[in-house]
Structure 1
Amino acid sequence: MSTLADAGEGDALEPRTVTITRADLVRYAGASGDLNPIHWNERTALAADLPGVIAHGMFTMALAARYVADLAGDPTAVVSFSTRFTRPVVVPDDDEGASVELGGKVTAVADDGTRTVALTATHGGKGVLGKAVAVVRPA
Structure 2
Amino acid sequence: MSAPTADLEVGTPAEPRTFGPLTRQMFVRYSGASGDLNPMHYDDTMARAAGNPSVFSQGMHQSALLATFATDWLGAENVRRFGVRFREQVWPDDVLTCTGEVTGIQPTDEGRVVTVALTCTRQTGGVAISGSADFLIPTLQ
* 1:27-106 map, 5 Å: 27-72=29-74, 74-91=75-92, 97-106=93-102
Name the larger-Rg structure: 2
Change (3 A) 1:58 1:103: same
What SS does the aligned partner of 2:19 have?
strand
Deviation of 1:4 (Å): 5.9
TM-score normalised by structure 1 residue count: 0.87
Q: Paired residues, what number? A: 131
- The question of 1:117 aligning with 2:116 is answered yes
Which AA in structure 1 matches 2:60?
Answer: M
Change (3 A) 1:125 1:137: same
- The question of 1:137 aligning with 2:139 is answered no
**Contact persistence 1:68–1:78 (CA under 8 A):** no
The two structures, once aligned, show a CA RMSD in angstroms of: 1.5
What SS does the aligned partner of 2:95 have?
strand
Q: Any stretches of 5+ residues in structure 1 without a counterpart?
A: 92-96
TM-score normalised by structure 2 residue count: 0.86
Deviation of 1:75 (Å): 1.4
Which AA in structure 1 matches 2:96?
Answer: V
Deviation of 1:76 (Å): 2.2
Identity of matched residues, %: 37
**Contact persistence 1:4–1:13 (CA under 8 A):** no
Runs of 4+ with deviation above 6 angstroms? none
Which AA in structure 1 matches 2:114?
Answer: R
